[in-house]
């Protein structure tokens, strides 16, 4: 009987650790903390020195650190991703990253005099976490901005942004699918590249550039 006691104790300890493991992990809290640090950096940038252009550039850099644009590119293109050749896939990720980070920098800069409050975070069914935020004060008071996050390589990354209930990924997916259906991958790449070269971020990247559109 005595010989079995150490084995029994070790087994019970292992079982206890196994059962306790999931309880110790809190994906929602981890994702919220990661996103909060980025939000704090963005607000610090907006309220710090530097021109509007310099601040937008810094915010774009922060976005590129927190957003996983490769995953977002695949989610946006969905089945059409396979229609792109490897070189075209790489080019799309580069151009889409440039466009989306610039767009995010321009739009978030509008909240310079407002507060951004983190409301909470919820676990999604596939392991993703949605971090919920809202704008407080100013003309955008009450506007909601939710960040869909995924743990990739041990780091929580944004894979979608939902502004006032509208998903950027879903919105771009439909636009891009229409362009690809009519002109193929090259047509989509041409339009996004033209937008980036013109510095236009307020209009959908599938529209032809126009001098009357907003610029960054």
This prediction has a pTM of: 0.79
3-state SS, residue 206: coil
Q: What are phi and psi of 151, to 5 degrees?
A: -80, 115
pLDDT at 20 over 60: no
CB 45 within 8 A of CB 58: yes
Tell me the C-alpha distance between 158 and 111, whole Å: 20
CB 148 within 8 A of CB 165: no
- Walk me through the domains of the chain, giving residue ranges and CATH numbers: 26-198 (3.10.450.710)
pLDDT digits (tens, 9 = 90+) for 61-77: 999 999 999 999 999 99
Residue, of 36 and 211, whose pLDDT is higher: 36
pLDDT band at 206 (very low <50, low <70, confident <90, very high): low
Give pLDDT, residue 1: 47
Tell me the C-alpha distance between 198 and 100, whole Å: 14
CB 153 within 8 A of CB 163: no
pLDDT digits (tens, 9 = 90+) for 151-164: 998 899 999 999 88
């Amino acid at each position: 009987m005595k010989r079995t006691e150490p084995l029994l104790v070790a087994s019970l300890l292992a079982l206890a650790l196994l059962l306790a493991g999931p309880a110790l992990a809190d994906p929602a809290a981890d994702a919220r903390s990661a996103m909060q640090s980025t939000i704090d950096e963005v607000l610090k940038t907006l309220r710090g020195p530097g021109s509007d252009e310099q601040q937008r550039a810094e915010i774009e850099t922060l976005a590129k650190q927190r957003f996983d644009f490769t995953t977002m590119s695949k989610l946006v293109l969905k089945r059409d991703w396979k229609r792109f050749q490897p070189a075209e896939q790489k080019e799309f990720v580069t151009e889409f990253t440039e466009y989306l980070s610039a767009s995010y920098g321009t739009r978030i800069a509008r909240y310079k005099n407002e507060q951004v409050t983190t409301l909470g975070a919820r676990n999604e069914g596939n392991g993703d976490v949605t971090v919920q935020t809202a704008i407080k004060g100013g003309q955008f008071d009450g506007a909601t901005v939710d960040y869909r996050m995924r743990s990739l390589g041990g780091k929580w990354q944004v894979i979608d942004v939902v502004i006032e209930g509208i998903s950027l990924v879903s919105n771009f997916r439909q636009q891009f699918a229409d362009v690809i259906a009519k002109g193929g991958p090259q047509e989509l790449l041409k339009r996004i590249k033209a937008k980036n070269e013109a510095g236009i971020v307020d209009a959908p990247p599938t529209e032809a550039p126009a001098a009357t559109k907003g610029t960054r």
